[in-house]
Amino acid sequence: MYKIAYSEIYNLFDRIKDVITLFLPAKNDGAVSFSKYESGTRYEADALNTVRSAKDFFFPQTQNIAEFKISGKSIEILQNTEETGKFAVFGVRACDEKSFGILDRVFLSEPSDPYYNEKREKAVIITAACNYPEETCFCTAFGIDPSEPRGDVSTWVSEDFLYWKANTEKGEELTNKIADIFERCNDGEIISIKNNIKTAAEKLPFVSLNLDYWRNTGEKEIFASEKWESVYKGCLGCGTCTFVCPTCQCYDVRDFDSGKSVRKFRCWDSCMYSDFTKMAHGNPRKSQKERFRQRFMHKLKYFPENNGGIFSCVGCGRCLKSCPQSLNIIKVARSVAADD
Domain boundaries, the chain: 2-60+81-202, 212-255+269-337
pLDDT above 70 as % of the chain? 97
Q: Which residue has the higher pLDDT, 285 or 309?
A: 309
Q: What is the mean pLDDT of the chain?
A: 92
pLDDT tens for residues 160-209? Answer: 999 999 999 999 999 999 999 999 999 999 999 999 999 999 999 998 89
pLDDT at 81: 67
Whether 259 shows a pLDDT value over 80: the answer reads: no
pTM of the model: 0.92
Whether 339 shows a pLDDT value over 80: the answer reads: no
Is the preceding peptide bond at 111 cis, omega within 30 degrees of 0?
A: yes
pLDDT at 89: 98
pLDDT at 84: 74
Whether 278 shows a pLDDT value over 90: the answer reads: no
Under 8 Å between Cβ of 45 and 26? no
pLDDT at 206: 92
Q: What separation in angstroms does the CA of 66 have from each of 79, 104, 208, 266?
A: 4, 22, 47, 9
Position 82 confidence tier, pLDDT thresholds 50, 70, 90: low
pLDDT at 307: 95
Q: What's the average model confidence in pLDDT over 144-160?
A: 95
Poorest-confidence range of 33-42, 119-128, 245-254, 331-340?
331-340
Backbone angles phi, psi at 13, to 5 degrees: -60, -40
Q: How far apart are CA 229 and CA 211, in angstroms?
A: 21
Q: What's the average model confidence in pLDDT over 297-319?
A: 95
Under 8 Å between Cβ of 265 and 64? yes
In sequence order, what E strands does 149-294 have? 153-157, 161-166, 183-184, 251-257, 261-268
pLDDT at 340: 61
Which has the closest alpha carbon to 185: 168, 162, 169, 152?
162
